[in-house]
């Protein structure tokens, strides 16, 4: 089990890895020295394997394609080699190891289906083990904080994180100038980078850097700076629920969104196009806790659910919201 201090720290630092040590210390009522030591320990033990910047890719007319690959790897060595190849692909945004009928979930970003199809076919040609797959198009995602990490009796007024972040959907295209692009990419590459380092590295005045960041946030391009978690090392379980719906009206859809928003173990809901219409990501401390949520969703929305399934999500190898071709 992860320690109490780890849970509270991961709650705040997990949702905003740019929080200062003093601010985190104040929120969890610990010394800045202990906070720094704990973060270093979590990084060293790879409980926090990496950090990522949440960027609304839809601002740049990018589409997110999720490819669920089946039965391509029978050995862990084969899987690791394949993941290494995928990590080098400039159109791959995220890579997850899965259980059940799928081995891998790989998220691609492209400006249109034709470009995505071309890149996917080239990838399969080079890796024949990837020739069995399902494609899902991501429409919009609702990201929720890991409220289950906080004590149940915590006062709402002490919680300052956004209750929901929306990425994707129908947004007008935003064109960035050269300085804005370079600063944004610096944060994508390293979410924890110091502003002075950006100014020095890019040879841009520090006041300009601060102004650009403020603009990127106000335009809702940069949405968050988050920490990835190794679920296994945290003794946590990550499952993805997929739902095929029918006859869903706005009122019922809003009810489902409210349900996910108010459940502390649900960390993401995505509307999709393909074999299913909704994906719900759930993180729990036991299979029993997950099953309880799973059954509750099926019961609560049985009149609109046509079919359902769930898949165990294991390791996350990569998780980005922007690729090289985005800008």
Query: Residue 207 belongs to a domain with what CATH number?
Result: 1.10.10
Contact between residue 78 and residue 291 where contact means Cβ atoms under 8 Å apart: no
Q: Would you say residue 99 lies in a domain?
A: no
Looking at the structure, tell me whether residues 151 and 18 fall in a common domain: no
Looking at the structure, tell me whether residues 30 and 151 fall in a common domain: no
Looking at the structure, tell me whether residues 295 and 266 fall in a common domain: yes
Looking at the structure, tell me whether residues 304 and 267 fall in a common domain: yes
Range of the domain at 272: 141-160+232-312
**What is the total count of domains within the chain?**
3
- Residue 115 CB neighbour total at 10 angstroms: 16
Q: Would you say residue 320 lies in a domain?
A: no
Looking at the structure, tell me whether residues 204 and 294 fall in a common domain: no
Q: Would you say residue 69 lies in a domain?
A: no
As a residue count, the chain comes to 327
- The span from the CA of 204 to the CA of 199, in Å, is 5
Looking at the structure, tell me whether residues 195 and 280 fall in a common domain: no
Looking at the structure, tell me whether residues 149 and 244 fall in a common domain: yes
Q: Tens of pLDDT along the chain (327 residues)?
A: 577 778 999 999 999 999 999 999 998 999 999 999 999 999 999 999 999 999 999 999 999 999 999 976 767 888 888 899 999 999 999 999 999 889 999 999 999 999 999 999 999 998 888 899 999 999 999 999 999 998 766 544 455 778 999 999 999 999 999 999 999 999 999 999 999 999 999 999 999 999 999 999 999 999 999 999 999 999 999 999 999 999 889 999 999 999 999 999 999 999 999 999 999 999 999 999 999 999 999 999 999 999 999 999 999 999 999 998 888
Q: At what angle do helices 178-189 and 195-202 cross, to 10 degrees?
A: 130
């Amino acid at each position: 089990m992860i320690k109490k201090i780890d849970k509270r720290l991961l709650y705040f630092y997990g949702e905003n890895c740019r929080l200062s040590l003093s601010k985190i210390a104040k929120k969890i009522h610990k010394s800045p020295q202990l906070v720094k030591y704990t973060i270093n320990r979590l990084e060293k033990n790879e409980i926090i394997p990496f950090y990522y910047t949440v960027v609304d890719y839809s601002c740049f007319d990018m589409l997110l394609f999720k490819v669920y690959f089946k039965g391509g790897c029978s050995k862990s060595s084969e899987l690791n080699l394949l993941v290494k190849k995928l990590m080098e692909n400039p159109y791959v945004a995220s890579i997850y190891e899965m259980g059940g009928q799928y081995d891998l979930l790989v998220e691609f970003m492209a400006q249109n289906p034709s470009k995505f199809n071309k890149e996917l076919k080239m990838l399969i040609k080079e890796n024949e083990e990837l020739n069995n797959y399902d494609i899902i198009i991501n429409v919009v995602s609702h990201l929720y904080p890991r409220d289950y990490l906080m004590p149940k009796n915590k006062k709402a007024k002490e919680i300052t994180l956004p209750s929901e972040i929306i990425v994707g959907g129908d947004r007008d295209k935003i064109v960035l100038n050269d300085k804005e692009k370079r600063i944004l990419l610096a944060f994508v590459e390293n979410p924890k980078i110091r502003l002075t380092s950006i100014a020095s590295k890019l040879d841009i005045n520090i006041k300009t850097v601060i102004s650009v960041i403020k603009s990127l946030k106000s335009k809702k391009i940069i949405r968050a700076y988050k920490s990835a978690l190794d679920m296994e090392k945290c003794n946590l379980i990550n499952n993805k629920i997929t739902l095929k719906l029918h006859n869903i009206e706005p009122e019922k859809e809003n009810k489902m969104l409210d349900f996910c928003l108010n459940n502390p173990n649900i960390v993401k809901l995505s509307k999709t196009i393909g074999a299913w219409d909704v994906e719900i990501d759930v993180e729990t401390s036991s299979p029993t806790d997950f099953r309880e949520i799973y059954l509750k969703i099926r019961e609560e929305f049985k009149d609109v659910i046509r079919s359902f399934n769930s898949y165990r999500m294991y390791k996350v190898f990569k998780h980005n919201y922007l690729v090289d071709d985005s800008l």
